Amino acid sequence: MNDRLKDDTYQSEQRRILLRAGSMHWAQWLVVSLAVVITVFAWYIAKEQLTRNNEAYFHDESDQIVTMIKERMKLYENALWAGVALIDTNGGDVELEEWRTYAASLNIDKTYPGINGIGVIHNIQPAQLSAYLEKERKRRPDFHLHPAHSETEYWPITYIEPALPNKQAVGLDMAFETNRYTAIKLARDTGTSQVTGPIILVQDSKKTPGFLLYAPFYKGGTKPESIEERRKHIVGVTYAPFIMHKLVQGVLTHETRLIDLKISDRGQALYDDASYEDAALRDDEPLHKEAVDVEMYGRHWVFETQSNLRFRSAVSNSQPYLVLFGGIAIDAMILALFVLLSRGNRAALAYADEMTRSLKIETRKLQASNVELDNFAYVASHDLKSPLRGIDQLATWIGEDLGDTLDSETQNHLRLMRSRVHRMEKLLDDLLAYSRVGRHDDQIATVNVRELVLDAFEMFEPSALIRIRAAEDLPVLHTRRAPLELIFHNLIDNAIKHHDQPQGVIDVSARPIANGYEFAVSDDGPGIPPQHQQRVFAMFQTLKPRDEVEGSGIGLALVKKAVEAMGGIVTLESDGKRGCTVRFTWPTTDQEEKTR
């Protein structure tokens, strides 16, 4: 009566909880609000991450442009120093034909895109001028220095190859103009390659910005240690003229470039994509821009880069907005789910009430059916056993009547008939026991589990020398004896029948757990393969051939049903090679009462 009152109180409380759940709870509003906050935060993080990735991509592209131009300038410098080596090898001078052959070997048009040519400039002091002009005019009568200037020395271009496109530069004196003259003196004094400030090449009809690159050479083929010695022993420089936009276009392909470039030297423009390329690609509001100061052979070039429309298209990514809209959609679905759940609770409660009423009716019918089934099992067992015993007796009489006249095959058939009759009787007994599991007809009593185990073992007469070891600390329980005895009886029987060695041991132990005990029955017989370990708890299952099995094949199924009827759990452990352990939990008296 008290248990029923407790159940009614519990159900009433659960009903009130469901009724309160019929409207949106503050916790649900909190979940929706947090989901919105998380969505906005995820959108912000995705947007920032995309921005950082795009910025890193832009910087990589910018660095690549600077690196490519520096590497190309290094290639041109090496060509000039190779020319210096040629001159040093020839004793400090080179003839026109020798220089022409060297320049042709460079294959300038293909190997050095952006360079206008490669030439030699000599340093001529006033006292040397007449002899220099006389020598050069022997091969080129029209050779002359130009333009006139007021400096005290001369730096004329003696050779420049290819000669035809650069014929206006032949004889041009570097001392006439500040940027050319300053850089060539710096190359002389440092013994290093130097670049001029922005200039207009005389051979450039379009008058676009350019520059010259110098590499000095000295008497004796070595660089003197001091500035004074270098000025004293300077012979000249090898040089290369550049038109800046040709250099950039030779190094960089604008058709696929994602970044616009501008190069300046001390505020003077050397190159600007805006002057040479399609203005339609220029981004008036670039995503990224930067300026980098690069030391370039005695000068400082400022590389200004900015992303163009091609870059904007390449990095266009809708991921942050997908995150935002997707998150909003999920938030809306969560809200809709909460609303539907709230509305559905009352409908579910009404449906549950109806189902409860139906369940009570069906339960009463099931209980009546179970009683009828038990009666049927008893009657069937009783009625079937009588003819089975008759068959067994008949087989016995046949054997006795025929006596010694029986051949071995007939004897085997009679033994097989009696064996199967006994197996059928065992099956009927087990089926009857299986149908009664969980009825709790017996009263709770004090059970000494160790004595129960030993008594169960004594019921068997194993042909092998199997012994049992029941732990001394097996508990004394207040429980129902019949199901516990049934469990140990079947586990011990199973261990004995399936043992494959002449001797063996069955161990029974227990350990306390929350709300009860866990018992373990272990043997050292053959293991059970992992793929069969769950199958052994099913009805009529055995790992032996049918004719070799003495039992019904439902022993472990009986164990499983009896354990679960008391609210316990049964498991099997085996490595599949040797030994098997069956564990099951058993409740204390208080917990046992709750399973009724």
Nearest to 516 by CA among 549, 544, 477, 489: 477
pLDDT over 90 percentage in the chain: 42
Environment class of residue 394 by beta-carbon count within 10 Å: exposed (0-12), middle (13-18) or buried (19+)? middle
Look up the pTM and report it: 0.53
Give CB contacts under 8 A, 24+ apart, made by 179-187.
Answer: 180/155, 180/212, 181/151, 181/155, 183/212, 183/214, 183/298, 184/121, 184/155, 184/214, 184/237, 186/298, 187/214, 187/215, 187/216, 187/237, 187/298
- 149, 189 Cβ separation under 8 angstroms: no
**What is the rounded CA–CA span in Å between residue 10 and residue 596?**
17
Q: Which residue has the higher pLDDT, 495 or 158?
A: 158
Count CB neighbours of 251 within 10 A: 17
Average pLDDT, the chain: 82
- 187, 216 Cβ separation under 8 angstroms: yes
Which pLDDT value is given to residue 547?
A: 43
pLDDT in tens, 436-469: 555 555 678 899 999 999 988 887 765 558 889 9
Please report, as a single letter, which amino acid is at residue 552.
Answer: S
**What is the rounded CA–CA span in Å between residue 580 and residue 491?**
11
Nearest to 201 by CA among 245, 154, 136, 248: 245
pLDDT at 428 over 60: no
CA angle 29–34–36, rounded 5-degree value: 95
Query: Which of 13-17, 228-232, 276-280, 431-435 shows the lowest mean pLDDT across its residues?
Result: 431-435
Environment class of residue 297 by beta-carbon count within 10 Å: exposed (0-12), middle (13-18) or buried (19+)? buried
pLDDT at 595 over 50: no
Which pLDDT value is given to residue 546?
A: 41
Going by pLDDT thresholds of 50, 70 and 90, the confidence category of residue 349 is low
Nearest to 97 by CA among 107, 86, 88: 86
Nearest to 403 by CA among 391, 394, 412, 411: 411
- 239, 121 Cβ separation under 8 angstroms: yes
pLDDT at 211 over 90: yes
Q: What is the mean pLDDT of residues 289-297?
A: 95
Which pLDDT value is given to residue 555?
A: 74
Which pLDDT value is given to residue 548?
A: 47
- 195, 211 Cβ separation under 8 angstroms: yes
pLDDT in tens, 87-114: 999 988 899 999 999 999 999 888 888 7
Which pLDDT value is given to residue 46?
A: 83
pLDDT at 593 over 50: no
Which pLDDT value is given to residue 207?
A: 92
